[in-house]
Protein backbone atom coordinates (compact mmCIF):
# COMPACT_ATOMS: atom_id res chain seq x y z
CA UNK A 1 0.00 0.00 0.00
CA UNK A 2 2.88 2.33 0.81
CA UNK A 3 4.30 1.76 -2.67
CA UNK A 4 0.98 2.68 -4.28
CA UNK A 5 0.72 5.84 -2.20
CA UNK A 6 4.27 6.84 -3.09
CA UNK A 7 3.61 6.25 -6.78
CA UNK A 8 0.40 8.26 -6.54
CA UNK A 9 2.15 11.22 -4.89
CA UNK A 10 5.02 11.11 -7.38
CA UNK A 11 2.62 10.85 -10.30
CA UNK A 12 0.45 13.73 -9.18
CA UNK A 13 3.50 15.91 -8.52
CA UNK A 14 4.92 15.14 -11.97
CA UNK A 15 1.52 15.77 -13.55
CA UNK A 16 1.30 19.16 -11.85
CA UNK A 17 4.78 20.02 -13.10
CA UNK A 18 3.99 18.90 -16.63
CA UNK A 19 0.67 20.74 -16.72
CA UNK A 20 2.34 23.94 -15.49
CA UNK A 21 5.14 23.69 -18.05
CA UNK A 22 2.71 22.89 -20.87
CA UNK A 23 0.56 25.85 -19.84
CA UNK A 24 3.54 28.18 -20.01
CA UNK A 25 4.54 26.84 -23.43
CA UNK A 26 1.00 27.36 -24.73
CA UNK A 27 0.73 30.84 -23.19
CA UNK A 28 3.95 31.86 -24.92
CA UNK A 29 2.82 30.50 -28.26
CA UNK A 30 5.60 27.90 -28.27
CA UNK A 31 8.37 30.51 -27.97
CA UNK A 32 11.57 29.40 -26.19
CA UNK A 33 11.53 29.60 -22.41
CA UNK A 34 14.26 31.01 -20.19
CA UNK A 35 17.39 28.94 -20.71
CA UNK A 36 16.24 27.32 -23.96
CA UNK A 37 18.08 29.78 -26.21
CA UNK A 38 21.40 29.88 -24.30
CA UNK A 39 21.57 26.08 -24.06
CA UNK A 40 20.93 25.71 -27.78
CA UNK A 41 23.56 28.33 -28.58
CA UNK A 42 26.09 26.55 -26.39
CA UNK A 43 25.34 23.22 -28.10
CA UNK A 44 25.76 24.71 -31.57
CA UNK A 45 29.12 26.16 -30.56
CA UNK A 46 30.46 22.89 -29.16
CA UNK A 47 30.02 20.29 -31.87
CA UNK A 48 33.27 18.56 -32.87
CA UNK A 49 32.65 15.90 -35.49
CA UNK A 50 33.56 12.98 -33.20
CA UNK A 51 31.16 14.20 -30.51
CA UNK A 52 28.29 14.64 -32.96
CA UNK A 53 28.84 11.11 -34.29
CA UNK A 54 28.81 9.62 -30.79
CA UNK A 55 25.79 11.65 -29.72
CA UNK A 56 23.84 10.58 -32.81
CA UNK A 57 24.47 6.94 -31.92
CA UNK A 58 23.32 7.53 -28.36
CA UNK A 59 20.19 9.39 -29.42
CA UNK A 60 19.26 6.51 -31.74
CA UNK A 61 18.90 4.22 -28.71
CA UNK A 62 15.95 6.32 -27.57
CA UNK A 63 13.68 5.38 -30.47
CA UNK A 64 12.78 2.44 -32.71
CA UNK A 65 13.11 -1.14 -31.50
CA UNK A 66 15.68 -0.59 -28.74
CA UNK A 67 13.31 0.81 -26.07
CA UNK A 68 10.79 -1.97 -26.74
CA UNK A 69 13.46 -4.65 -26.41
CA UNK A 70 14.59 -3.09 -23.12
CA UNK A 71 11.00 -2.82 -21.87
CA UNK A 72 10.43 -6.50 -22.61
CA UNK A 73 13.71 -7.31 -20.85
CA UNK A 74 12.45 -5.41 -17.80
CA UNK A 75 9.44 -7.71 -17.69
CA UNK A 76 11.60 -10.81 -18.04
CA UNK A 77 13.75 -9.63 -15.15
CA UNK A 78 10.74 -8.78 -12.97
CA UNK A 79 8.98 -12.14 -13.32
CA UNK A 80 10.06 -15.30 -11.53
CA UNK A 81 8.16 -18.01 -13.41
CA UNK A 82 7.78 -18.21 -17.17
CA UNK A 83 4.15 -17.11 -16.92
CA UNK A 84 5.05 -14.16 -14.73
CA UNK A 85 7.79 -13.14 -17.15
CA UNK A 86 5.34 -13.16 -20.06
CA UNK A 87 2.76 -11.15 -18.10
CA UNK A 88 5.33 -8.64 -16.86
CA UNK A 89 6.92 -8.23 -20.29
CA UNK A 90 3.49 -7.68 -21.86
CA UNK A 91 2.59 -5.12 -19.19
CA UNK A 92 5.90 -3.28 -19.72
CA UNK A 93 5.38 -3.15 -23.48
CA UNK A 94 1.84 -1.87 -23.02
CA UNK A 95 3.05 0.81 -20.62
CA UNK A 96 5.63 2.00 -23.14
CA UNK A 97 3.38 1.73 -26.20
CA UNK A 98 0.34 3.43 -24.71
CA UNK A 99 2.58 6.09 -23.19
CA UNK A 100 3.92 6.91 -26.63
CA UNK A 101 0.42 7.16 -28.06
CA UNK A 102 -0.66 9.52 -25.29
CA UNK A 103 2.45 11.64 -25.80
CA UNK A 104 1.66 11.96 -29.49
CA UNK A 105 -1.82 13.16 -28.66
CA UNK A 106 -0.39 15.85 -26.38
CA UNK A 107 2.23 16.67 -29.00
CA UNK A 108 -0.41 17.51 -31.62
CA UNK A 109 -2.61 19.29 -29.11
CA UNK A 110 0.16 21.72 -28.17
CA UNK A 111 1.77 21.96 -31.61
CA UNK A 112 5.02 23.62 -30.59
CA UNK A 113 7.58 24.24 -33.33
CA UNK A 114 11.11 22.90 -33.10
CA UNK A 115 14.22 25.10 -32.94
CA UNK A 116 15.32 26.59 -36.30
CA UNK A 117 16.31 23.86 -38.76
CA UNK A 118 19.62 25.63 -39.39
CA UNK A 119 20.73 24.54 -35.91
CA UNK A 120 19.94 20.84 -36.41
CA UNK A 121 22.73 18.26 -36.43
CA UNK A 122 20.42 15.31 -37.15
CA UNK A 123 17.12 14.57 -38.84
CA UNK A 124 13.88 15.38 -37.02
CA UNK A 125 10.21 15.75 -37.89
CA UNK A 126 6.92 16.71 -36.28
CA UNK A 127 6.16 18.96 -33.35
CA UNK A 128 8.48 19.55 -30.45
CA UNK A 129 6.77 19.37 -27.03
CA UNK A 130 7.17 17.01 -25.25
CA UNK A 131 10.28 15.35 -26.66
CA UNK A 132 9.62 11.81 -27.86
CA UNK A 133 13.16 10.56 -27.27
CA UNK A 134 13.22 12.02 -23.75
CA UNK A 135 9.83 10.49 -22.91
CA UNK A 136 10.60 7.06 -24.36
CA UNK A 137 14.06 6.74 -22.81
CA UNK A 138 12.90 7.94 -19.38
CA UNK A 139 9.93 5.58 -19.37
CA UNK A 140 12.07 2.65 -20.49
CA UNK A 141 14.70 3.47 -17.86
CA UNK A 142 12.03 3.60 -15.14
CA UNK A 143 10.74 0.15 -16.13
CA UNK A 144 14.23 -1.34 -16.12
CA UNK A 145 15.20 0.25 -12.82
CA UNK A 146 12.02 -1.03 -11.18
CA UNK A 147 12.68 -4.55 -12.43
CA UNK A 148 16.29 -4.52 -11.26
CA UNK A 149 15.43 -3.20 -7.79
CA UNK A 150 12.57 -5.68 -7.49
CA UNK A 151 14.86 -8.65 -8.14
CA UNK A 152 17.82 -7.19 -6.15
CA UNK A 153 20.73 -8.73 -8.11
CA UNK A 154 24.35 -8.02 -7.05
CA UNK A 155 25.33 -4.49 -8.02
CA UNK A 156 21.70 -3.48 -8.44
CA UNK A 157 22.28 0.14 -7.43
CA UNK A 158 25.14 0.50 -9.91
CA UNK A 159 22.97 -1.02 -12.65
CA UNK A 160 20.08 1.28 -11.76
CA UNK A 161 22.40 4.31 -11.83
CA UNK A 162 23.78 3.41 -15.25
CA UNK A 163 20.28 2.86 -16.65
CA UNK A 164 19.08 6.13 -15.14
CA UNK A 165 22.02 8.03 -16.62
CA UNK A 166 21.22 6.55 -20.03
CA UNK A 167 17.61 7.70 -19.75
CA UNK A 168 18.66 11.25 -18.90
CA UNK A 169 21.46 11.35 -21.47
CA UNK A 170 19.20 10.40 -24.38
CA UNK A 171 16.98 13.37 -23.58
CA UNK A 172 19.94 15.74 -23.40
CA UNK A 173 21.21 14.57 -26.80
CA UNK A 174 18.14 16.17 -28.38
CA UNK A 175 19.20 19.58 -27.12
CA UNK A 176 22.82 19.02 -28.16
CA UNK A 177 21.73 18.05 -31.68
CA UNK A 178 19.53 21.15 -31.87
CA UNK A 179 16.21 19.41 -32.59
CA UNK A 180 14.54 20.21 -29.26
CA UNK A 181 14.43 23.01 -26.73
CA UNK A 182 15.53 22.01 -23.24
CA UNK A 183 11.98 22.66 -22.00
CA UNK A 184 10.79 20.00 -24.50
CA UNK A 185 13.11 17.51 -22.83
CA UNK A 186 11.99 18.47 -19.32
CA UNK A 187 8.41 18.09 -20.51
CA UNK A 188 9.24 14.61 -21.79
CA UNK A 189 10.75 13.61 -18.45
CA UNK A 190 7.74 14.89 -16.51
CA UNK A 191 5.30 13.21 -18.89
CA UNK A 192 7.18 9.90 -18.60
CA UNK A 193 7.21 10.08 -14.81
CA UNK A 194 3.50 10.86 -14.72
CA UNK A 195 2.57 7.95 -16.96
CA UNK A 196 5.00 5.54 -15.29
CA UNK A 197 3.49 6.35 -11.88
CA UNK A 198 0.00 5.73 -13.26
CA UNK A 199 1.12 2.35 -14.62
CA UNK A 200 2.83 1.51 -11.32
CA UNK A 201 -0.33 2.24 -9.35
CA UNK A 202 -2.40 0.10 -11.73
CA UNK A 203 0.10 -2.78 -11.55
CA UNK A 204 0.67 -2.61 -7.78
CA UNK A 205 -1.86 -5.39 -7.14
CA UNK A 206 0.35 -7.71 -9.21
CA UNK A 207 3.42 -7.26 -7.01
CA UNK A 208 2.34 -9.89 -4.43
CA UNK A 209 1.90 -12.31 -7.32
CA UNK A 210 5.48 -11.74 -8.41
CA UNK A 211 6.90 -12.17 -4.91
CA UNK A 212 4.66 -14.99 -3.62
CA UNK A 213 6.87 -17.91 -4.82
CA UNK A 214 9.81 -16.45 -2.89
CA UNK A 215 7.75 -16.05 0.28
CA UNK A 216 6.47 -19.61 0.08
CA UNK A 217 10.01 -20.91 -0.44
CA UNK A 218 11.25 -19.04 2.62
CA UNK A 219 8.42 -20.41 4.77
CA UNK A 220 9.10 -23.93 3.50
CA UNK A 221 12.70 -23.58 4.74
CA UNK A 222 11.45 -22.39 8.12
CA UNK A 223 12.39 -18.77 7.44
CA UNK A 224 10.97 -15.63 8.93
CA UNK A 225 8.57 -14.74 6.13
CA UNK A 226 5.31 -13.48 7.67
CA UNK A 227 2.43 -15.97 7.60
CA UNK A 228 -0.51 -15.32 5.32
CA UNK A 229 -3.40 -13.62 7.01
CA UNK A 230 -6.54 -15.68 7.50
CA UNK A 231 -9.38 -14.48 5.31
Other residues' Cβ atoms within 10 Å of the Cβ of residue 160: 17
CATH of domain 2-211: 1.20.144
For the residues 156-176, what does the mean pLDDT come to?
97
For the residues 145-166, what does the mean pLDDT come to?
93
**Mean pLDDT across the chain, nearest whole number?**
89
Percent of the chain with pLDDT over 90: 81
Q: Describe the crossing of helices 182-203 and 82-110 by its angle, rounded to 10 degrees.
A: 140
Q: How confident is the model at residue 220 (pLDDT cuts 50, 70, 90)?
A: very low
157 phi and psi angles, rounded to 5 deg: -70, -35
For the residues 191-216, what does the mean pLDDT come to?
73
pTM of the model: 0.87
Amino acid sequence: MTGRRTATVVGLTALAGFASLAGIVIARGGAPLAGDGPLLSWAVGHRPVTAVTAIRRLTDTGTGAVPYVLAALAGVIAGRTKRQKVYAATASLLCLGVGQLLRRAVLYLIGRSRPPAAEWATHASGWSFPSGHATTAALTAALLITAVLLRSPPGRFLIATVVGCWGVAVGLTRVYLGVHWFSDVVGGWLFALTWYAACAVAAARWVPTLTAPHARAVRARGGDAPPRANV
